A and B are shown apart, each in its own frame.
Chain A
Amino acid sequence: MVMPWALEMTLARPNVKNIVLVEGVRTPFLLSGTTYSDLMPHDLARAALQGLLHRTAIPKDVVDYIIYGTVIQEVKTSNVAREAALGAGFSDKIPSHTVTMACISSNQAMTSAVGLIAAGQCDAVVAGGVEFMSDVPIRHSRKMRKTMLSLNKAKTLGQRLSLLGSIRLAHLSPELPAVAEFSTSETMGHSADRLAAAFGVSRVEQDEFALRSHSLAKKAQDAGLLQDVISFKVPGRDIVSQDNGIRPSSMEQMAKLKPAFIKPHGTVTAANSSFLTDGASAVLIMSEEKALAMGYKPKAYLRDFVYVSQDPKDQLLLGPTYGTPKVLERAGLTMSDIDVFEFHEAFAGQIMANLKAMDSDWFAQTYMGRKSKVGTPPMDKFNLWGGSLSLGHPFGATGCRLVTTVAHRLQKEGGQYGLVAACAAGGQVSDTHPGGVFWLIVLLKNK
């Protein structure tokens, strides 16, 4: 099928189906420990799926596959995709699986969906992500677990008693989910602070960026631009229909905070980092043919993506700088062709460091083997409706929010191309990382 507009041809690849984003929704993103605190992860995921069903009115048996991303797994619902899908009323004939790839878990869910459609396996796939930080699995210590497991196998009362007798006070201290990168034992915040220092990002610059994020998010929320948010009647609680982490403050207020990770001279604080968040998201991805046949009006094409990874110690959060030029080159575009940028904001310092890296010829030549700098995205196209710093960052769910936001902004702002960058950076306190850094960039063409 030949497309009528010429530019489209340059991005469409021969023998690959056009793949489109039909719809994207998310639950309100709430600070951990607030209204969602008594739920379980699959409850949130189910709410997002029901929201998607409601928005699209897609028949429950048309979907071919469901994929969910999550980071901190609830052990009772390790395949949270399946539990949520069944609960949301999807046909039990639809296979589902769960993926994990740190903070880009739902990006991985989406690109897996794209892969399934491109390979001709499926025509309609639901992808999403969920993170629930109000409750995380805290384990018994290894010694205690070992004793308890041996206890199961103990045959006689004597054996059981002697095992019980072997329990010491130290056995009882619990094991919290890793707060650090497994390979380097460094927390994400610590890494971000070092990165900011390496690029000479000042505290003031970080606070200003955080303030910008909150102010823009507030404006977008007030203007009703965050259409991807669905209302959710929380069991036993009220209906929630707004993110609750958006808090525009003042530079003076922010300046009062002490550094959160590197004391006393660090620059990353609670105010310029993303906060621990509960939330879920979901998108419907289809082949263009199928979407049009079903009478949908797709929001955007999902054109291309690339994953990159770097040294987990010193370049953990530098993915955007490496990934952006790569995906642009693949698509034959330049920075100036992009109308809408959505970058995941793990830390203000991390965003600012990346912007400085992208603006540095020295960095490009020394570490990237390029002749000249990547170039920075213009700020008047950058995260105009807030970002993870203000809207919140449920690790597994952020990717879908970014992609949906790009689609909505392209529609609203009338642009042609959008670019998403999401790095596997953790939240404020607790996250587990597979090591390395992964970047996903999706190019969207306004439909």
Chain B
Amino acid sequence: MQEPLQQPRAFTKTGTHVNYEVKGDVAVVRINDPNSKVNTLSIQMQKELTDVMNEVWSNNAVQSAVLISTKPGCFIAGADINMIEGCKTAEEVTQLSQEGQNIFEKIEKSPKPIVAAINGSCLGAGLEFVIACQYRIATKSKKTVLGTPEVMLGLLPGAGGTQRLPKMVGLPSAFDMMLTGRNIRADKAKKMGLVHQLVDTLGPGLKSPEERTIEYLEEIAIECARGIVNKKIPLSKEKGMMQKLQDYIMSFEMVRNQIYKTVHGKVMKQSKGLYPAPLKIIECVKAGIEQGPIPGYLAESQNFGQLAKTTESHALIGLYHGQVTCKKNRFGAPQKEVKTLAILGAGLMGAGIAQVTVDKGVHTILKDTTVSGLARGEQQVFKGFNDKTKKRNITSFERDSILSNLTGQLDYSGFEKADMVIEAVFEDINIKHKVLKEIEAVIPPHCIFASNTSALPIKEIAAASKRPDKVIGMHYFSPVDKMQLLEIITTEQTSKDTTASAVAVGLKQGKVIIVVGDGPGFYTTRCLAPMLAEAVRVLQEGVDPKKLDALTTGFGFPVGAATLADEVGLDVAAHVAEDLGKAFGSRFGGGNVEVLKTMVDMGFKGRKSGKGCYVYQPGLKVRDVNPDIEEILEKYKMTPNPAVSSDSDVQYRLVSRFVNEAVLCLQEGILSSPVEGDIGAVFGLGFPPCLGGPFRFVDAFGADKLVEKMRRYEEVYGNQFTPCQLLLDHANDSSKKFHK
């Protein structure tokens, strides 16, 4: 890097979060929040930034500025959520938004060019900050991602994002970014025109790679800032043919209106109108483009304020906090790290567990009993990584070296080195016992035995064990590589270290973890079973599967009840319904188990068998209702009671049984906190995210109102709708809330 010709004036100013140093004629503004792992635009950060920028603008020796974070892996991860939550009224939040808009407007209009040098996450308000700057340089680090995730918190980019982004990347890309909230990697950001220049990450040198990379980025950004001042680097890029064409097309109001309409339609279809934020985002963008900046910015700040006070936003922010909680190991560090993990059964689950383990540097043994089963499982793992190669997330070399950690086998060789064994064999207590005994004969004394069962009580499995303190349940959800939840089940005998180790493995696999007590169906399966029983009753009452799906998705479930049953597998559902029915008695009744059993007997096991409630044809997305089930439903027909059969009543019948069972789990101590209950229901079972989980739903909806509905259903159907004691307590005392 060339040093400036004139002698640099040593000039620095140091705050706790922001400091700046003048290098020649360039002010280098460095941000780093000393109290947090990530930088957020907190009140303190904003204040110091404003102070520093004012100095930069008034300092005559400074021609340009570079904005950089010295925190490894993070530029600015977003606004401070606590700051938004701390506001009492929508007006206060609107005020916050306007303050942000004002700061960034000054940045945008800065007479001295500001170069944002981005390394690590640049999200939300962080992104809004950099797009107000005149120039952006980003490192190619895997940690460098840009995005506007506000929509996932039920909010919108409230500091100018809805106004600047469409101008920068075009209407379609801007909508895509703001409505999905997805992260964009540096190389993609460059292609989109979101950043101007990319910088490589550096390896070992005279300093640590991370430190030197940030320094290198700074050096390049400084040169760049000088280049802009000297007019060597143009700020406006010559537009390409495609860009010009797109701009031309977009200049027609009719075309733009068509886009708004299409996007609006898509949002409505996907969100069922249950999420206000995406609609508000469209509104703000439209206001800015069609009516100009003043109405645009006003719409943005007002909508931001309103959204922050919606129950949906509270629910989503609650989930965000819950997720953070469930990504920590509250049982401490395990005595021994799991370096070799053996998985029994190379089926969908077993192979899925292998897939999320093998790329974490853990030697993974995948054992099956047949060559064909093993080959299928190994292919599933290979395909998972090969797909990543095709998407260029990893190179083929990385894929191969990851897979070198996987050993597929039919025998127990190497199990003497296993630190943990997870069994994913058939759900039959006798088979589980047989496997457990075989395993305990070959594994070392410290090795943990985990069962990936979805309903069998761990206590019963552990009954056959010589060391029940090392037995635990690890309930994964299918497909394992997509579903974030892991439900860990401990018995009274499970040792704390065993739990700590299971949680550590789950966290390594990237899971969100809830730890629950033992019992039939644990937490998740137990909540789902009554809802599915109700769904079967609804079908028996003559509602067709498509209508049932529409009612459930209309309530906010991402997957309809009939489709969900097909996905889980009707055989599994029948099995679970029968088991839990035995354990819990008539409360788990409702639909006739024989309906499911008959379907299974006829070979309708759901998606995996090609037929279930629906008929699945490879390559076809549209699916028809399985015509053969009409006969079955006709045979088990029930007459609906019109008093409790409106669309809304059907929805609440399904949901109230789910919620009541969840609350009962908390009452019985299966759950240790409402947070885990919410996270488990949303991430494992698809409980509507906009409701934030069963417990937050009760808080927002009102326990008394829910109890009132349940009493009405109870009159018709009996004890399946009897509210549990804890729910009644909350209904009787409106000051009682699950979430403070």
Residues of A with Cβ closer than 8 Å to B? 182-185, 190, 193-195, 197-200, 202, 262, 264-265, 311, 313-315, 318, 353, 356-357, 360, 362-363, 366-367
B203 touches A195 (CB 8 A): yes
Q: Please, how many angstroms separate the alpha-carbon atoms of A200 and B203 in the complex?
A: 12
* Contact across chains for A367 and B395 when beta carbons are under 8 A apart: no
User: Could you tell me if B395 and A199 are in contact, using CB atoms closer than 8 angstroms?
Assistant: no
Contact of B204 with A by CB under 8 A: yes
Once the chains bind, are B209 and A314 in contact (CB under 8 Å)?
A: yes
Q: Closest CB of chain A to B286's CB: distance in Å?
A: 38
CA distance A185 to B212 in the complex (A): 23
Given A311-B203, A360-B206, output 14 extra A-B contacts at Cβ < 8 Å: A183-B397, A184-B397, A185-B395, A194-B200, A197-B202, A198-B203, A198-B205, A198-B216, A199-B205, A200-B206, A200-B212, A318-B204, A366-B208, A367-B204
Given A183-B395, A185-B395, A197-B216, A366-B1 contact (CB < 8 Å): no
Which A residues touch B205, using CB under 8 A?
A: 195, 197-200, 353, 356-357, 363
* Interchain CB contact (< 8 A) of B199 among A200, A265, A367: A265
A20-B200 Cα distance, complex, nearest whole Å: 46
Beta-carbon contact of B223 and A194 below 8 Å: no
Q: Map CB proximity to A onto B181-216 as digits: 1 under 8 Å, 0 otherwise.
A: 000000000000000010111111111110010001
A315 with B397, Cβ < 8 A, contacts A198-B212, A202-B1 known: no
B338 in the interface, Cβ–Cβ < 8 Å? Answer: no
At the interface, yes or no: B348 with Cβ under 8 Å from chain A?
no
Q: Per a CB cutoff under 8 Å, which of A183, A194, A265, A363 touches B206?
A: A363
Q: A182-B397, A198-B212, A202-B1 are in contact. Are A262 and B203 (CB under 8 A)?
A: no
CB-nearest residue of chain B to A264 = B197
Q: List residues of chain B with CB within 8 A of the CB of A314.
A: 202-204, 209
How far is B213's CA from A199's CA once the two chains are assembled, in angstroms?
11
Specify which chain B residues have a CB less than 8 angstroms from the CB of A367 in the assembled complex.
204
Across the A-B interface, how many residue pairs have beta carbons closer than 8 Å?
Answer: 63
Question: Measured between alpha carbons, how far is A36 from B426 in the docked complex, in Å?
Answer: 70
Knowing A183-B395, A184-B397 are in contact, say whether A315-B203 is a contact too (CB < 8 A): yes
Q: Identify the 7 closest CB pairs spanning chains A and B, nearest first.
A: A314-B203, A198-B205, A198-B202, A183-B397, A199-B205, A265-B220, A194-B200
CB contacts (< 8 Å) of A356 on chain B: these are 205-206
Distance A262 CA – B220 CA, assembled complex (angstroms)? 12
Interface string of B212-226 (1 = CB under 8 A from A): 100010001001100
Tell me the complex Cα distance, A200–B216, Å. Answer: 8
On whether the beta carbons of A194 and B204 are closer than 8 Å, the reply is no
Are B203 and A184 in contact (CB-based, < 8 A)?
A: no
Residues of B within 8 A of A264 (CB): 197
B residues near A315, Cβ cutoff 8 Å = 203-204
Chain A positions within 8 Å of B397 at CB level: 182-184
B507 to chain A, nearest CB (A): 27
Q: Which of A183, A313, A362, A366 contacts B203 (CB 8 A)?
A: A313
Q: Give every chain B residue within 8 A of A313 (Cβ-Cβ).
A: 203
Q: How far is the CA of A190 from the CA of B203 in the complex (A)?
A: 12
Residue of B nearest to A202 (CB): B1
Cβ–Cβ contact A194 & B395, under 8 A? no
**29 A-B interface contacts by CB (under 8 A):** A183-B395, A183-B397, A184-B395, A197-B200, A197-B202, A197-B205, A198-B203, A198-B206, A198-B209, A198-B216, A200-B212, A202-B1, A262-B200, A265-B197, A265-B220, A265-B224, A313-B203, A314-B209, A315-B203, A315-B204, A318-B204, A353-B205, A357-B206, A360-B206, A362-B206, A362-B207, A363-B205, A366-B208, A367-B204
Please name the residue on chain B nearest to A191 by beta carbon. B203
Q: How far is the CB of A139 from chain B (nearest CB, A)?
A: 18
- Considering the chains assembled together, what is the distance between the CA atoms of A428 and B472 in angstroms? 57
A182-B397, A184-B395, A314-B209 are known contacts. Are A194 and B1 too (CB-CB below 8 A)? no
> How far is it, in angstroms, between the C-alpha of A264 and the C-alpha of B199 when the chains are bound?
10
Chain B residue contacts of A183, Cβ below 8 A: 395, 397
- Return A268 CB to nearest CB of chain B, in Å: 12
Q: How far is the CA of A200 from the CA of B224 in the complex (A)?
A: 18
Residue of B nearest to A311 (CB): B203
